[in-house]
Amino acid sequence: MFDNTEIPVVSICCITYNHSKFIRDCIQGFLIQKTSFPIEILIFDDASTDNTANILQEFTLNNENIILFLQSENQWKKNKFGIKDWLLPNAKGKYIAFCEGDDYWTDPHKLQKQVDFLESNSTYIGTFHRAHFLNERNGADTCYPVWYKEKVEFTDALREWLIPTNTLMFRNTNDFPFSHFENKLTYSGDRLMHLLLTDKGPIHYMHETMSVYRIHNAGATADASYHNYEGELRYFKLLTLVCDVVSPQNALKIKEYIYRRSLFLYRTGNGKKKKEFARFYLKNDLHSNYLGKIHNLLKWR
């Protein structure tokens, strides 16, 4: 055990809402960690209406390194977010590790392995690993990613969702431009974090399964729409904002991605949705260099 006055090396950031069925597993996953350094556990509860807050308070009785941010009113409804508005601003650690309240860690050496890598590889902004996906809606039992290259860069994060939330650890740079997205974020915060991080440097993929990622009807993943029309539209709106805050080289990659993806979605779409895609992108000056090309190719009224 470490003295709670020591500066933590890792800040574990956990958000939870109505996770009374799961939160004990989540916190136990934090407490089993065997490390050569001190950690702190920051947990934000967004005014749960079940027994989550009471369970959290039970754990604080014997664990001084657990710091709670319990809300009496739901902040998500006010367009405020536990991670960016409470946990990251209060995190003291050199590194940040994420885990939501319905997921949990299974490897007691997870944090040590990730810190060891980042300490030895200063050019990497973060690291993640494989997760065991437990789908409680259909009973599917899989791992993700099954395989991926070890060096994940901006283009990889742009093209697909690769990093399960509870596998990510990154350097606490404390300079994320979240204010640029104030009241505008209508898409996955995960994708935003992955883009902002890989704009700073690559993320290392560890080919080890060290956590369980739950998919259930009450979870955020149940509402995620990455591959349908509405999801694509929200993602492109997010990218138009990200383009303003990343490097010029990565902004150009975003423009190229939207140009190519919008053409593909237009060509494979049908009816009203097909024209809505074309109208949205033709009006968007993000890819102004390509407007002439797009207009000639789409030929719509």
In this prediction, residues 42-69 reach a mean pLDDT of 97
**DSSP calls for the chain:** ---TTSPPSEEEEEEESS-TTTHHHHHHHHHT---SS-EEEEEEE---SSSHHHHHHHHHTS-TTEEEEE-SS-SGGGT--HIIIIIHHH--SSEEEE--TT-EE--TTHHHHHHHHHHH-TT-SEEEEEEEEEETTT--EEEESSS--SEE-HHHHHHS----GGG-EEE------GGGGTTT--S-HHHHHHHHHHHHS-EEEEEEEEEEEEE-TTSHHHH--SSSHHHHHHHHHHHHHHTTTS-HHHHHHHHHHHHHHHHHHHHH--HHHHHHHHHHHHH-GGGGGGHHHHHHHH---
The domains of the chain, with CATH numbers, are 10-223 (3.90.550.10), 229-298 (no CATH)
| Model pLDDT for residues 165-215, shown as the tens digit of each residue | 999 999 999 889 988 887 666 666 899 999 999 999 999 999 999 999 999
Q: Choose the weakest-confidence range: 55-69, 84-98, 144-158, 259-273.
A: 259-273
Whole-structure pTM value:
0.89
In this prediction, residues 52-66 reach a mean pLDDT of 97
| Model pLDDT for residues 263-288, shown as the tens digit of each residue | 777 777 766 666 666 665 665 555 45
